[in-house]
Structures are given as structure tokens and as C-alpha cells.
């Protein structure tokens, strides 16, 4: 029963980053994690395994569709699904062990087990109660389902089941056209499944820039994904091997049915606070079931903080990490800050989709005078060379000051390129600053510069 400056509950990207920073800042730190491995949702059943499967299946797609065009002849590879899952598991293992190494290196104690907070300043794990001057809750989130849909993780699955399916389904119905649904839908479409995405709204990826939504859906359709839009799922009837999805179209209330071998419920995630005992100690919650925090991630109970998916804001690993670092600085008595206006969002399909800052719709709604600089990857030599000429970079800048307000990219390596604009926005840069920065040729990033040029006197290769 040790005594700590900080005990963090949960070793996801929020918790483990917070722990490392706390230790670096000289605080005696422990993390309680109930899973057998560190890294939380992200490393175990989220970002990392999904990206491994996206990489493997994208490589398959390249071999099937683009190798011959580059003069690479021969039999296209066949899929050994257990071996592909083993590769994914190995990638996860390398990453989770990496966090264990970092904990040892930084002298962060890992207390194994599930934590509760019997009273402020105390963390209970099993029979043991540890003292903590400060407690940071980083307990993350879990998949949420719909009324009338019972998840069994075999036929009706969440993203966790989608990473471990026994076999590749012939027919997959994905409920929800958000990031997770489209990434996992892409994986299985590339593996040969007939994929139908059923979405309640009329657009995919809610909240994204409308231009991106349209182009992205068109590209995904070309890749073989089917979409049923404006459809409210009523129920899923499942047997041991099959399911029927019943939905109503919102436009005319007509009822329809889809057959599937597997149904992926990808309708979002909800904060995970089970077993923490927050109600007993009076931690205030938001209406949406998140832990309520102030601008310094403090809850209403002195000495208890919360970060990551369990509080409000986008459920993203890097947002959780930023909050983890920032709250560590708060606890060490330093100044800290997270700029919520510059948190990028990325979808790791092919092409990738990335965005930061305001969408055009948001600027319209705010009544802000803005200009648009847009550049198609068709004018980018490098993108064309790798069969990725579809998509564009769209920059939004203030009409009068030219200050960058948002960026929306659909194209190759969009998830990496977006950071040029993130840095520019952090520095309050104008589109012209990006336009006047020399960009190496031939790179995809030249498309960002061209879009910035389009905010001024015009792009060159348009």
C-alpha cells in the first residue's frame, strides 16, 4: 500500500502519456490498469490493430489492382486470414510492450487490477487501498449499441469483434457511416465481403466538410461499398450464423430488410466509468454521461481530475494524449494548455481523409467572411504516379486577414499532411505563409501549397 503524488486510472493514450509526463516532472506516479496489457482501447482494440488490418488489406488491393499496371506481373497474393490476424496481434504486442518499457524507464508503477475510488485521495485495487495526492481518471470509453440490437461479438459485433472475426463474412452490414464503420467496412470490402453501410443521416462522416463527404462517399462507392442513407435501424434478428437488419427509410417511413452474415454496430462510443464508484463520492457528470471537468481537467471533487474519452470532446487518442500531458503539467504546478481548435481528425481509408479547424458550413453558420483555396490531386504528379489522383486539398482562410481557419484533405497521406496546417494554425499563419514556403517536388504536400496559392493569386498546376 504505497503512497503516490498521482495515481492514474487507465493506461490508454490519455493515462499512459499522463503517467510518463508526471514521472518526468518529478511526481511519484502509478497507473492502475485492469487489462492484461497497457495501451488502452487505442493500442489493444482500436487505432493500432485497425491500422494494421487497413495496411494489410490496402497492400492486397494494390497487388490486385495496381501491380500489373506498373509492370509487376504474377499471381496476386491470396489471403491467409489467421496469418493476417496474427500479424495484427504481433503489431499490437510490440506496441503494448513498448509502453511497459517506457513505464520501467520512467519509473512509473503499474498496479494491475480494476480501480475504484472509495474516497478522495484513495484508490482501491482488489483488497489494497493506495494513497494518492491526486487521482486522474482516464478510464476511456466502450462501444455503444442501439435499442433492438444485441451484440454477441460473433454475428452482431462491435469494432472489437470486427478485429477478431473467425472468418471473412460474405455479407457484412455496417450500422453507422462514421470513422470506425468506414475503416472496418473498407477492410472487409478489400477482403472480398459485400459491404452495405446503413446510416441514419443523409451524409457519411457526420460533422466533416460537405465537399469531403461527397467525394469520399463517391470514392468508397467505386471501391464497392454500398450505402443506405437516411435509414433508421429498427432491429437486428440474429441466429448463430446469420442476421437480418430491419430499417425504416426516414423519407417515407418504408420498412426494408438486409441479410447479413455479420453486422457491425458502429454507432459510436460512450464513456466507461463502471466500477469507479463516482456516484458515491459525488463526481459531477454531464448530461451525456461524461465526467464534467473545468478548463484544467479538474472534476468538482478536489484532487480528482479526468481526461480522454471519459470527458467531453472528440474521442481521439491524440486528444487524450494532449490532455494527459497538460494535466500532468497542472499537477506539477506548471502552466498548461490544449488548443481544442487545432485537433486534427483522420480516417485511414485509401485515400485517407484528414481535417482540422472549421468546416465551410461552420464558417457559413458563424457568418464569417472566408475564402476557399482548393487543389485537386489530379494536378499533383506524385499522386498520379501512385494511382491516387482522386481527392483534393481544401483550405479555408479569413477573407480579410488570410488567416488559416480550416483544412480538409482527401488524398494520399492526408493524415500526415494535415500537420503542416496544424502547425500553421498554431502559429496563426496566413494561407500566404504556406504558399510562400518552398515545398519539395515531387511530394503530395505540394498540393497543400497549391491550395494555399489558390487562396491568393491562384494555383499553378490547376
Q: Is 10 in the site for ligand FAD (CB under 6 A)?
A: yes
Single out the residue of 6, 8, 13, 278 in contact with ligand FAD (rule: CB under 6 A).
13
Task: Tell me the angle at which helices 13-24 and 317-331 cross, rounded to the nearest 10 degrees.
Answer: 30
Pick one of 47, 149, 283, 425: the residue that binds ligand FAD (CB under 6 A): 47
Q: Which stretch binds ligand FAD (CB under 6 A): 132-140, 219-227, 375-383, 392-400?
A: 132-140
User: If we measure between CA atoms, which residue out of 389, 440, 448 comes closest to residue 417?
Assistant: 448
Collect all residues with Cβ–Cβ distance below 8 Å to 271 and sequence separation of at least 6.
Answer: 139, 140, 141, 289, 290, 291, 309, 310, 311
Phi-psi region for residue 357, left (φ > 0), alpha (ψ -120 to 50) or beta? Answer: left
Q: Which helix (H) or strand (E) holds 364?
A: helix 360-366
Element (H, E) at 280: helix 278-281
The stretch near ligand FAD (CB under 6 A) out of 27-35, 66-74, 170-178, 373-381 is 27-35
- The residue (of 97 and 384) whose beta carbon lies closer to ligand FAD is 97
Cell of 25: 516532472
Q: How far apart are CA 349 and CA 219, in angstroms?
A: 10
Q: What minimum distance in Å lies between the beta carbon of 141 and ligand FAD? A: 5
> Under rule CB under 6 A, which residues in 163-222 are in contact with ligand FAD?
180
Closer residue to ligand FAD, CB minimum distance, 327 or 363: 327
Stretches 38-46, 165-173, 201-209, 446-454: which one binds ligand FAD (CB under 6 A)?
Answer: 38-46
Residue 11 binds ligand FAD, judged by CB under 6 A: yes
175 within 8 A of 234, measured Cβ to Cβ: no
CB of 289 to ligand FAD, least distance (A): 14
Asked if 260 and 171 touch (Cβ cutoff 8 Å), the reply is yes
Alpha-carbon span 393 to 414, nearest angstrom? 9
Task: Give yes or no for a contact between 215 and 187, defined as CB atoms under 8 angstroms apart.
Answer: no
Among 95, 96, 134, 139, binds ligand FAD (CB under 6 A): 139
Q: Which residue has the cell 506516479?
A: 29
Q: Does 115 bind ligand FAD (CB under 6 A)?
A: yes
41 belongs to the binding site for ligand FAD (CB under 6 A): yes
Handedness of CA 26, 32, 37, 39 (dihedral sign): negative
Catalytic residue among 65, 256, 419, 441: 441
Do the Cβ atoms of 203 and 215 come closer than 8 Å?
Answer: no
Size of the site for ligand FAD (CB under 6 A): 36
419 flagged as catalytic: no
> Closest approach of Cβ 278 to ligand FAD, in Å?
10
Comparing CB distances to ligand FAD, the nearer of 212 and 429 is: 212
Beta strand pairing call for 171-175 and 262-265: parallel
Q: Maximum CA pair distance of the chain? A: 69
Instruction: Note whether 355 and 209 are within 8 A (CB).
Output: yes
Asked if 95 touches ligand FAD (CB under 6 A), the answer is no
Binds ligand FAD (CB under 6 A): choice among 199, 209, 261, 309: 309
**Nearest residue (CB) to ligand FAD, 354 versus 453:** 354
CB of 441 closer than 8 Å to CB of 447: no
**Residue of 14, 178, 351, 411 that binds ligand FAD (CB under 6 A):** 14
Site string for ligand FAD, 314-353 (x = CB under 6 A): -xxxx-x---------------------------x-----
Residue 103 or 348 with smaller CB distance to ligand FAD: 348
Q: Give the footprint of ligand FAD on this chain (CB under 6 A).
A: 9-15, 32-35, 40-42, 46-47, 50, 114-115, 138-141, 159, 180, 272, 275-276, 308-309, 315-318, 320, 348
- Which residue numbers are catalytic? 441
Amino acid at each position: 500500500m504505497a503512497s503516490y503524488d498521482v495515481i492514474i486510472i487507465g493506461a490508454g493514450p490519455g493515462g499512459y502519456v499522463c503517467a510518463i509526463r508526471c514521472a518526468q516532472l518529478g511526481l511519484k506516479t502509478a497507473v492502475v490498469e485492469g487489462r492484461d496489457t497497457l495501451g488502452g482501447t487505442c493500442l489493444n482494440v482500436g487505432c493500432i490493430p485497425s491500422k494494421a488490418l487497413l495496411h494489410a488489406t490496402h497492400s492486397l488491393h494494390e497487388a490486385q489492382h495496381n501491380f500489373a499496371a506498373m509492370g509487376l506481373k504474377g499471381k496476386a497474393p491470396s489471403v491467409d486470414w489467421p496469418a493476417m490476424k496474427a500479424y495484427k496481434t504481433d503489431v499490437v504486442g510490440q506496441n503494448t510492450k513498448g509502453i511497459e518499457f517506457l513505464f520501467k524507464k520512467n519509473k512509473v508503477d503499474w498496479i494491475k487490477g480494476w480501480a475504484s475510488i472509495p474516497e478522495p485521495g484513495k484508490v482501491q485495487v482488489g483488497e489494497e487501498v493506495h494513497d494518492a495526492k491526486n487521482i486522474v481518471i482516464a478510464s476511456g470509453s466502450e462501444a455503444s449499441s442501439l435499442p433492438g440490437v444485441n451484440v454477441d461479438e460473433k454475428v452482431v459485433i462491435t469494432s472489437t469483434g470486427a478485429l477478431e472475426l473467425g472468418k471473412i463474412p460474405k455479407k457484412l452490414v455496417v450500422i453507422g457511416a462514421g470513422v470506425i464503420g468506414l475503416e472496418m467496412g473498407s477492410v472487409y470490402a478489400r477482403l472480398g465481403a459485400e459491404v452495405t453501410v446503413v446510416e441514419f443521416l443523409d451524409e457519411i462522416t457526420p460533422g466533416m466538410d460537405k465537399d469531403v463527404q461527397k467525394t469520399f462517399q463517391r470514392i468508397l462507392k467505386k471501391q464497392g461499398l454500398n450505402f443506405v442513407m437516411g435509414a433508421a435501424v429498427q432491429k437486428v434478428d440474429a441466429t448463430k450464423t446469420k442476421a437480418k437488419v430491419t430499417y425504416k427509410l426516414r423519407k417515407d417511413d418504408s420498412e426494408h430488410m438486409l441479410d447479413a452474415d455479420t453486422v457491425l454496430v458502429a454507432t459510436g462510443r460512450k464513456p466507461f466509468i463502471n466500477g469507479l464508484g463516482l456516484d458515491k463520492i459525488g463526481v459531477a457528470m454531464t448530461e451525456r454521461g461524461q465526467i464534467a471537468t473545468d478548463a484544467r481537467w479538474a472534476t468538482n471533487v478536489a484532487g480528482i481530475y479526468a481526461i480522454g474519452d471519459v470527458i467531453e470532446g472528440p474521442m481521439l487518442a491524440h486528444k487524450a494524449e494532449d490532455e494527459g500531458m497538460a494535466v500532468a503539467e497542472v499537477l506539477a504546478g506548471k502552466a498548461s494548455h490544449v488548443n481544442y481548435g487545432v485537433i486534427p481528425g483522420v480516417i485511414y481509408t485509401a485515400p485517407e481523409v484528414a481535417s482540422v479547424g472549421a468546416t465551410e458550413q461552420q464558417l457559413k453558420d458563424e457568418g464569417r467572411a472566408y475564402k476557399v483555396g482548393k487543389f485537386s490531386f489530379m494536378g499533383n504528379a506524385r499522386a498520379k504516379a501512385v494511382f491516387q489522383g482522386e481527392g483534393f486539398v481544401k483550405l479555408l482562410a479569413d477573407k480579410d486577414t488570410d488567416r488559416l481557419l480550416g483544412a480538409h484533405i482527401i488524398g494520399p497521406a492526408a493524415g500526415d499532411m494535415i500537420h503542416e496546417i496544424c502547425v500553421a494554425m498554431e502559429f496563426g499563419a496566413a494561407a500566404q505563409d504556406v504558399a510562400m514556403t518552398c515545398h519539395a517536388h515531387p511530394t503530395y504536400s505540394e498540393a497543400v501549397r497549391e491550395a494555399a496559392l489558390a487562396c491568393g493569386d491562384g494555383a499553378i498546376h490547376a
